[in-house]
Each structure stands twice: as C-alpha cells, then as structure tokens.
Structure 1
C-alpha cells in the first residue's frame, strides 16, 4: 500500500478521519484536526488543506456533526476509494494508514509493537513518529529558501545514525542539520548523547532546526551551534535495570 500515488494516500487519510472522527484522532494521539492535517499533510508532501478537503468529501456519508460537501455528488475517484476501503473497521484501517504514512513502515510498525507492549498505548508513538517525519519534510521543503543554506545540496542521513538528520554540502562546505518537531509553540527539545557530542565537535557547522506549532500553523527556528547559541541543555542521566534471560545449551 505504501506504493500508492500520493493523491490516493491523501484520500485514504481523509476517509479515515471522516469515518472515525474523534476516535481516529485519539488513536493517532492528535489533539485536534488542525494538528492532524498539518502533520499528515507534511508527511505526505501535500497541503494540509487537501487532507481536510478529502475528509469533508466523505462527511455526508457518516454520522458526524459536519455537513461536508453535501451540495454535490462525490467525485468518482473518491468514490472508488470509499468503495474499496470504506467498510474497514478502526483496527484494520488504522493499520492500513500507518503502512501508508510510516517512512520505514515495516521497521516502524515493529518498533511501535514493541513500544505498545509496555505502556505506550495512547497513540503517542504514532504522534511522535509522524511529527518527526513531518518536521523533516518541512525542512526539505524550506531549506532552499534559507539564506544560510543558499546553493547547497542536501543528503538525507536520518537512517545512518550519525548524530544529525541532513548534510548540506558543496565542494567547499559541509554542514550538519538536526531536525526536531514540537506540536506547541514551546516545549522541550532533547539531544541524544551522540547528537550532543557531534554538535560539540562541529561547532558552527552544526545546526538545530526546530519546527513547532503543528497544532495551529507550523513555523521554525534555526540555531547555528546550538550548544553555544544561548540554549541551555541540562544533562539527564537515567540508570536502567536491565533484565536478561539465559539458557544452557
């Protein structure tokens, strides 16, 4: 399903939130539709308004408080999606939508399954993952318009575990950018031990790009050399008791 065209993915997201309404929001951990449309729209690379419009397209078919596009017949390509997937229950439709939205879908679904075996059962994993993906897509959309990065090429390093998400480079320049996402205008930003170490080593060549306010309208802040930019990072150490199981062969 992850190979579907973007339009069909967007229609499926709209159908999901029309059918399941508030329950669908809670399943993904979203506090409202604006947040959901912003995060999912950026994740898919479409305008948030497109997800809303597809939700409104299906609203006349479901018992919610919205009237939707009841003044006209449903568009044929939307009806095809409804005929194919409109009968799915919450569990199966949620699984389908996650396969579509998660960037590393098989691995991310496995990590989510492990998280849910503990105490993460309120959709917070899905929200964190998708907010992070949305922030990364926001950066990829925006970096060319940022004067500091003018004329540089981009390389996605999110899955390389190197302490930053993107390399921006030219024959004479190599910069590292770590991207973080916040749902509100303010909140806590955490650097891992590796991210902190790389930021300390690279100094002015390391940037922290924070996308915030997904609940309303995403905006961003850019910090060059974040450890020396006036941001105060507090070291937090956690001592974990690890249990293992041994067998004799």
Structure 2
C-alpha cells in the first residue's frame, strides 16, 4: 500500500484546480496537496493518480511522493468557505495526497528547455496512459530546484469512465499535437525502446496493488480484485500494440 497518514490541519484550498484540491498538514509533519474523493471526478480520478503516478515513478520519471490521507471532516471546521466545508464532509476516509513542493513554479516551455531524452520519455508515458492534460494550456508540470516534476494525472486512463466500451478503445491513437513537450521530444524511438519492454504484468500488478480497495470497489466491479484485473488486462493489451498509439 501507499504510505498512510492522517490529516491534522486543513490549510487552504487550491482554486486553480477544477476539483478544488487543498493543502493539508499530515500527522507526520509533512504537507500535502490533497485531491478529495468527494470532488466531482470521484474516486476514479484518485485511481488514475495512483496508477499513472506510480507507473511513471517506476519508469524513472519524477513524480512527487503519493500518500493516502485519512481525513476526518473535523479538521476543516475553521474553513469559512461553505463549498469547501461540503467537499470535506463528502470526503471522509481515504483521499489522495501528493507531497507539496514549496516554491515550485508552473512550467514555462520557453524559459525551461527540457532534455530530449526526458521530454521523449514523458511523451511516451503520456501516450500510454492517454494523458489529455499535458498541453501548453495546462502542462501539469512543475519546476522545483531547477528540475521538472510531473503532477496531476487524474485525467489519465479515461477508458475507465466507460468500461463497457473500454475494449473498443484499447489501441486508440494518442493525439500529441498540443503536447507541451513536443518541441523537445526528438528521441521518441529511443524512449519507447526503453519504456515499452518494462510495461509488464508484474509491473502493472505492483502499481495496482497500491490503489486502496475502497476506491476500486466503489464502481463497476463486484470486487477490488476484479477491478485490478480489468485495469491490468486493458493496459497490457495497449502495451502489446504500441504501433497503434505511439506518436511517430
């Protein structure tokens, strides 16, 4: 499982995000950006965060630490915003936390050129998980101490929003025309040669084991085990035919 911490103080909402994430202090003295299960996207966004984020980490890409944040709504009792209060009340239990990177800046593709190898590996990863949220309009990249960090993967794996049709779109082509790193991704073939052989059943099982059962059992399947198997089979089938979806 992911590390589990208890929220001890709700600090402030981050109104840049559509799901109204918030900064929360944990019982381990850490500070986290928390995405709440009671937000509009629901638990599936949290599943996508864990699966994509922890897969990226195992492929050598920089992702802030992810944790499961246990939330008692009482921690937000001093929050004056009624919308936030309702969100916190609807999110009691396990939520998704990402290590807060203080002072990090939003990525600017002009001010921060990216090495061709890293840019290409990010692009291959995004193509595999069908990340529709890495455009120049919304890069979901941070620069912290001069290094690039990948954040916000809740919009990946969007096949899981319609499981009856998931098999029909397993080899769907990835559109990369507005990918923010496209100008720097000049080594896609080499990146694919590195990443694709590592997309194995064992790796996917390892990542899917990190997702809390309660997020998986809340929709579509009779059990968390059945959900994990469906995710693994879909992603393995996609990995088996990279020529169908990999940008060239």
TM-score w.r.t. the length of structure 1 is: 0.32
TM-score w.r.t. the length of structure 2 is: 0.32
Decide which structure has greater helix share: 1
Decide which structure has greater strand share: 2
